[in-house]
Chains A and B, each alone.
Chain A
Amino acid sequence: MFKFSKRNRNRPNPAVKRDTSPRGSRILRARNGRNSRPGLAARFAGVDWARFRINVVVGIFCLLWAGLWGRAWYLQMIEGPRLADRAHRQHMASELVTGRRGMIYDRNGQVLARSVEARSVYVKPQEVEDFLVMANTLGPILGMEPQKLYDDLSKTSRRFVWLKRKVDDYTAQAVRKANLAGIGLSKEYDRVYPFKHMAGQLLGFVGLDDKGLEGIERALEARLGCIPTRQIVQRDAMGRRFYLHEEGQSEPRGQDLTLTIDVQMQFIAEEAVARAAREHDARWSGALVVDVPTGEILAWAQYPFFNPNTYRESSPLIYRNRLAADALEPGSTFKPFVMAAALQERKITTTTPINCERGKWETKNFIIRDTSNQGVLPANKVLRYSSNIGMAKIGLALGAPTFYKYLHALGFGERTSVPVAESRGILRMPRDWSEVDIMSTSFGQSISVTGLQMAQGYLTLLNKGVYKPLRLIREEGNVEEPRQRVFTEQTARQVMKMMRDVVEEKDGTGKRARIEGVEVAGKTGTAQKADHRAGTYGNKRLASFVGFLPADRPRYLVLVMVDEPSRNQFGGVVAAPVFREIAGRALIYSGILAERHVDESGKGALASGARRRGLKVSALETPYLAQVAHAPRRDSGMQLPGHLAKASDKVPDVQGKSVRNAVELFARAGVVPELKGSGSRVVRQSPPPGAAWPAQGQGAACILWLSER
């Protein structure tokens, strides 16, 4: 216990003392002074005035203290919620957070498109201290003219200006080092397409604001893109943010996408269409490869190539995805559908004799010509010779409504299930069809279809007459579409047999598509292109070929289109060899056909090394064609273009390279190097260049020393 309590015990009767003992003399005198006034003395005789005065002061302070306590109660308990809400609004800022866009993979996990972090330089003019210093410092760093920078920024009344979007690491670092007031760097994402122009038109591209503008990037924006979300973040009075990620809450990012495209198949197809287009000086060429059993699109090639990495240097003419967006009159490749419909409707049988009028048939107001002058043919030969007259007669036998019904069931005039921006094509209603229309539609005119629709139609035919949707996206779940049978299996077989004859019979138009060792089926097409200005058909052609193989049990469906070839215009001459090259290499790639079959065939386009050597390969368009275009060997693994090729068995020289690049090179060999230092460039490496890779499991064996800056 404390001492004062003891004192109390020692002096048990303090009250007595106070009454008897004299106070301090001055206190007593003061009291006496007061007592000298008789009136008051009577009334306040017993009052200790000095004590009273002090107690008055104490009273005042007691009141003040109680008042302050009450004020605290008022502020915290009554006004509390309102004030806390106000404070909360001040502490929390809602911020637009843009996440990383989803990646696009091919079916084997190769990255077709990825987003990488990039820095963008911005300026808040209000916060800049000295525009002259800023302009002179930033100008050289950003490669902008200081005078222009100064003029633009010192006069602007805007609060926020982008100086340069998506700069490289070096520039970002230099800007950071300059440490200028009002200049900042913000994180953005840059879209990178590692395979450069591969499947460029299909993939499309992404604008500066991370929004898909073309192709898959645009069509699947909702899935790939990360909708910028408003996030509530805490900030201090200087506006600095505190990012407190809650447990389990990760940064927002878009969904990844796996396409059915196979990079290797795509490469094969692109190589083939590029060669064909150059050889025939075509406007453009394209090819689709479809895996028949699954309906998956394996390749989607179009030449001239489009490199989405540099989309700004390109034009819509180049990046237009023609296979999906261009509706064209298909020509003879359309005939098998008409044939199948007529067989299905029992209007004809395979042996029904059809008079092909020796190549020229004058109807009431229309003359149809054939390239061959055949007389009466059995129905199964009409397709082989690609007789327009024969087809017109079959079409007339069908009649417009039935005709329309089949075309509609095959998917013409409708968008396919493939999620890209595509044209519907033009399929008019049967009541609008004249007799001429029926006839011309029978051989692929007066109807507009896209390459994709053609592929869809053939897929249905090859799938034993049952509709099967084309697929471009993998892992879409197993949503089985209601299977709609268009043709009986027998009809499909009959048409497939006719198409086999087109290639495999001596008198077929598609002989150039033959591949030794496997039965090929197909149909050539040489569509006259409508000259819209003249209002009639001009002399430009769309050469095409649709084929599949093996003919009896199709694995691959390949559609080739070569638009406006200059010298030779026939599909059987221009497009069939392209089919042959693609299909042949696809068979080797998938192991269906041994390599030697193709090699032995010698003269074909596939192995024509001489021609390839004579071809000037533009580095910009096809940086890798020359190296990888030799006969692909399945056993040598995936022959992948450019920098994605398999890593060498020796340690590469990464000294002087950027960290990102170096790590990528090492990672390709399955090695994750240890980084020392914090710079952005490698100055030293271990093991030295050219040495063998360290044994597996020695993780720390690879060290990269980084530069200081």
Chain B
Amino acid sequence: MKNTFTEKPKTAKSRSSFSRAVSNAARAEPAAPFDWWLFTIMLTILAIGLVMVLSASGIVAEQVNGDKYYFFKRQLAFAALGGIALWAAALLPRHWLYRLQYPALFFALLLLLITLSPFAPAINGAKRWIPVGPISVQPMEFVKIALALYLAYFMSAKQDLIKTFSRGVIPPFAVTGLFCFLLLLQPDFGSAVVLAGILFFMCVAGGTRFVYLFFSLALACAGAMALAIASPYRLRRLLAFLDPFQDAHNTGYQLVQSLLAIGSGSFFGVGVGASKQKMFYLPEAHNDFIMAVLAEELGFVGVTVVMLLFALLFWRCYRIIMGQHNLRDRFTAFGLTTILVMGAVMNLAVVMGVAPPKGVPMPLMSYGGSNLLATMLCVGLLLNFSRTADPWTKSS
């Protein structure tokens, strides 16, 4: 299982010279302590996520795999692996990390191409996974990190050119566009939106002219319009979320089931493990729609607690971002945070029926090895950056 991830260049290097990295980090970087609050909050959310995975997957796992702990055990193993990745990333010397932007980008590209090759299987008509032994890797999760690293590098290194169109705007858009194109081929519309979102917010933060951003938004809208006119069926599917009960047994099914689960929760929920919607009504209950199960079992109270925990997590990330002196540090931390926030926001939006359904997992909570590993990698890198962060002060 492990060798899957050793292919990731960052972790590979950090592991091969772990002790040196530690001493390097200690010597070369300003040795502020890790942000333990960030780590604690992440662990809390992870623990809640594990319990919910067990609750949501138990019945399905027993039915399909004959072991009600099947998904729970696997998620536990992924979490352990993620812990290793997290600390490796946290201790990774900064200057190593800053040499990885292009190798990581190319590696991510390679992985994406492999998913589209005939070697990778199509699951439910989508080619998103690379099978490696008993597990499948979803390269998309690592593409996000690679793209964030690259964009951060670009925004900081080309800060002088950022206002120009041909050299400041075209390259990041082209790179992101390429990845989005490959993801759309899979097809994985949700992930493409996440990448576009990362680019957009990085551009906002990086200082791209608002005119260009406005035009890119307009272009995206025009593209969506064109797509809708070209195939009205797709549009109808896309907009089914606006009134899911219209077609509750077909296009709206998943969302209806999700809303029913959330609504059944009311204030205090039906109790952990007592969800009825998870009994095969709600597809992907332990996966993308785990928040619906949580909402049903723990009610509005549970949802509020989880959303507060995430808000705290993001606040710690914001502190880290704002504490960075170096522009690249700041953008990188910002990009990584954007990955987490985008994941959480889009997942909740889908689950609560305010965005079209796409496969976006909830960070740290949804079942899925690649997502958990990538998320913990992000948190690890953010911990890394917390060591160079200024103490928090209110900006004037």
Interface residues of A (CB under 8 A from B): 2-4, 6-8, 11, 14-15, 17-18, 23-24, 26-27, 29-30, 46, 48-51, 53-58, 61, 64-65, 67-69, 71-73, 75-77, 79-84, 86-88, 90-91, 234, 236-238
Q: Which one of A7, A46, A90 contacts B396 once the chains associate, using CB atoms below 8 Å?
A: A46
Decide yes or no whether B4 CB sits under 8 A from chain A: no
> Between A and B, how many residue pairs show CB distances below 8 Å?
159
**Given A76-B267, A80-B265 in contact, is the A54-B396 Cβ separation under 8 Å?**
no
Chain B window 318-330, contacts with chain A (Cβ cutoff 8 Å), 1 for yes, 0 for no:
1001101111011
20 residue pairs from A and B, CB less than 8 Å apart: A8-B391, A14-B390, A14-B393, A17-B390, A18-B390, A24-B327, A27-B325, A48-B395, A53-B207, A61-B341, A65-B310, A72-B348, A76-B263, A83-B260, A84-B266, A86-B260, A87-B263, A87-B277, A236-B279, A237-B280
Q: Which one of B204, B264, B348 contacts A56 once the chains associate, using CB atoms below 8 Å?
A: B204
Q: Chain B contacts of A7 at CB under 8 A? A: 32-33, 391
Nearest to A64 among chain B residues (CB) is B345
Q: Complex: how many Å from CA A57 to CA B210?
A: 13
Q: Chain B contacts of A57 at CB under 8 A? A: 201, 204-205, 334, 338
Decide yes or no whether B87 CB sits under 8 A from chain A: no
Minimum Cβ distance to chain A for residue B383 (Å): 12
Q: Complex: how many Å from CA A83 to CA B37?
A: 38
Nearest to A51 among chain B residues (CB) is B395
* Interface contact B311-A65, CB-CB below 8 Å: yes
Q: Chain B contacts of A84 at CB under 8 A? A: 260, 263-264, 266
Q: Chain B contacts of A14 at CB under 8 A? A: 390-391, 393
* Interface contact B327-A75, CB-CB below 8 Å: no
Q: Complex: how many Å from CA A8 to CA B390?
A: 10
* Interface contact A2-B37, CB-CB below 8 Å: yes
Interface residues of B in 17-60 (CB under 8 A from A): 32-37, 59
**Given A3-B33, A24-B326, A54-B321 in contact, is the A83-B304 Cβ separation under 8 Å?**
no
Q: Which one of A29, A51, A53, A79 contacts B263 once the chains associate, using CB atoms below 8 Å?
A: A79
* Interface contact A77-B266, CB-CB below 8 Å: yes
Decide yes or no whether B69 CB sits under 8 A from chain A: no
Q: Chain B contacts of A83 at CB under 8 A? A: 259-260, 262-264
* Interface contact A76-B266, CB-CB below 8 Å: yes
Q: Complex: how many Å from CA A522 to CA B252?
A: 85
Decide yes or no whether B300 CB sits under 8 A from chain A: yes
Q: Which one of A15, A76, A91 contacts B393 once the chains associate, using CB atoms below 8 Å?
A: A15
Decide yes or no whether B295 CB sits under 8 A from chain A: yes
Q: Chain B contacts of A68 at CB under 8 A? A: 307, 345, 348-349, 352, 354
Q: Complex: how many Å from CA A24 to CA B157?
A: 13
Minimum Cβ distance to chain B for residue A297 (Å): 55
Sample of 7 further A-B pairs with CB below 8 A, known A3-B34, A54-B330: A27-B325, A27-B330, A53-B206, A65-B307, A72-B295, A73-B300, A79-B259
* Interface contact A72-B352, CB-CB below 8 Å: yes
Q: Chain B contacts of A238 at CB under 8 A? A: 280
Nearest to A65 among chain B residues (CB) is B311
Q: Which one of B295, B314, B329, B353 contacts A61 once the chains associate, using CB atoms below 8 Å?
A: B314
Q: Chain B contacts of A29 at CB under 8 A? A: 159
Q: Chain B contacts of A17 at CB under 8 A? A: 390
Decide yes or no whether B357 CB sits under 8 A from chain A: no
Q: Chain A contacts of B156 at CB under 8 A? A: 26
Nearest to A22 among chain B residues (CB) is B325
* Interface contact A65-B262, CB-CB below 8 Å: no
Decide yes or no whether B240 CB sits under 8 A from chain A: no
Decide yes or no whether B261 CB sits under 8 A from chain A: yes
Q: Chain A contacts of B295 at CB under 8 A? A: 72, 75-76
Q: Chain A contacts of B321 at CB under 8 A? A: 54
Minimum Cβ distance to chain A for residue B331 (Å): 9
Minimum Cβ distance to chain B for residue A368 (Å): 85
Minimum Cβ distance to chain B for residue A91 (Å): 5
Q: Which one of B207, B276, B393 contacts A50 once the chains associate, using CB atoms below 8 Å?
A: B207
* Interface contact A53-B36, CB-CB below 8 Å: no
Q: Chain A contacts of B37 at CB under 8 A? A: 2, 4
Minimum Cβ distance to chain A for residue B346 (Å): 10
**Given A14-B390, A72-B307, A76-B266 in contact, is the A23-B207 Cβ separation under 8 Å?**
no
* Interface contact A18-B35, CB-CB below 8 Å: no
Q: Which one of A15, A50, A72, A90 contacts B330 once the chains associate, using CB atoms below 8 Å?
A: A50
* Interface contact B36-A2, CB-CB below 8 Å: yes
**Given A65-B311, A237-B279 in contact, is the A87-B261 Cβ separation under 8 Å?**
yes
Q: Chain A contacts of B330 at CB under 8 A? A: 24, 27, 50, 54
Nearest to A242 among chain B residues (CB) is B279
Minimum Cβ distance to chain A for residue B247 (Å): 15
Minimum Cβ distance to chain B for residue A469 (Å): 56
Q: Complex: how many Å from CA A313 to CA B35?
A: 89
**Given A3-B34, A24-B325, A68-B348 in contact, is the A54-B262 Cβ separation under 8 Å?**
no
* Interface contact B36-A3, CB-CB below 8 Å: yes
Q: Which one of B32, B279, B303, B327 contacts A26 once the chains associate, using CB atoms below 8 Å?
A: B327
Q: Complex: how many Å from CA A64 to CA B277?
A: 27
Q: Complex: how many Å from CA A80 to CA B268?
A: 12
Minimum Cβ distance to chain B for residue A664 (Å): 38
* Interface contact B205-A53, CB-CB below 8 Å: yes
Decide yes or no whether B299 CB sits under 8 A from chain A: yes
* Interface contact A80-B266, CB-CB below 8 Å: yes
Q: Complex: how many Å from CA A56 to CA B311?
A: 16
